[in-house]
Amino acid sequence: MAELLRRNEAFRKLEETACAETRAMATTLLKKSLRWEAFHVIRCASTSTRNESHCRHYDSHLLTLLIPLKLAPDGVCNGDLLVYHPPRLAVSTVANVFCKLRHGIQRNLPFPIRKWMTLRDLRRGRCNRVPVEPGSVYVFNGFVLQHANLDVEVGERRSLLIHYYDPGYSAGLSGTVRGVRMLWDRLRKNMTGMYPGT
């Protein structure tokens, strides 16, 4: 799907500009030269995928492009992206690993508790809801912006996420988690004959 998008000149220019700015930032602030590598994820959210909702986290990558493909009906919980503030300003490998462990513990809390925590954060202004439109492209740095997704109470929501430039501050945890998720998705596909959410 990303290759189809890259045939569109406007998307290609947006991607090139965002990547160039991210590489320049990495060179200046992190003193790292990062190679171009795109990690693609189709996120399907529905009433059957609540384990992926209300899980605040930081991305392992410096740049994320979010392309909404299909939205769930409007409502309190329609799968919207939530962005927490303020952004984290300094990141070390040790701090990042501890943060991933903390988020892992939160991810394993029962769904009603995670949802209550998220909605409380919204009420108290600790995060902002980001309304999106299908076909638009949203660019953000999920490495410094803590974020999560609301659950979907009715219908289904699908998004394409493209992540770029992993600076390597996870001591191998990110690659391991990605590998386990890909294996789990493959196993679920083999058991049902379909990908999750399809």
How do residues 36-76 score in pLDDT, each as one tens digit?
889 999 999 999 999 889 999 999 899 999 999 999 999 99
In this structure, is residue 182 part of a structural domain?
Answer: yes
- DSSP annotation string for 67-103: EEEE-PPSSS-B--EEEESSPP----HHHHHHHHHHH
CA dist list (Å): 180 to 97, 125, 169 = 17, 34, 19
| Domain extent at residue 188 | 2-192
Domains: count for the chain? 1
Mean pLDDT of 21-34: 88
Relative to beta strand 147-149, strand 38-46 is unpaired
Q: What is the DSSP letter of 56?
A: -
Q: Is 148 left (phi over 0), alpha (psi -120 to 50) or beta?
A: beta
In this structure, is residue 167 part of a structural domain?
Answer: yes
pLDDT in tens, 147-175: 999 999 999 999 999 999 998 876 555 55
Q: What is the reported pLDDT for 197?
A: 45
Q: What is the reported pLDDT for 196?
A: 47
In this structure, is residue 141 part of a structural domain?
Answer: yes
Q: What is the DSSP letter of 34?
A: P
Which CATH number do you get for residue 169?
Answer: 2.60.120.10
In this structure, is residue 197 part of a structural domain?
Answer: no
In this structure, is residue 198 part of a structural domain?
Answer: no
Q: What is the DSSP letter of 32?
A: -
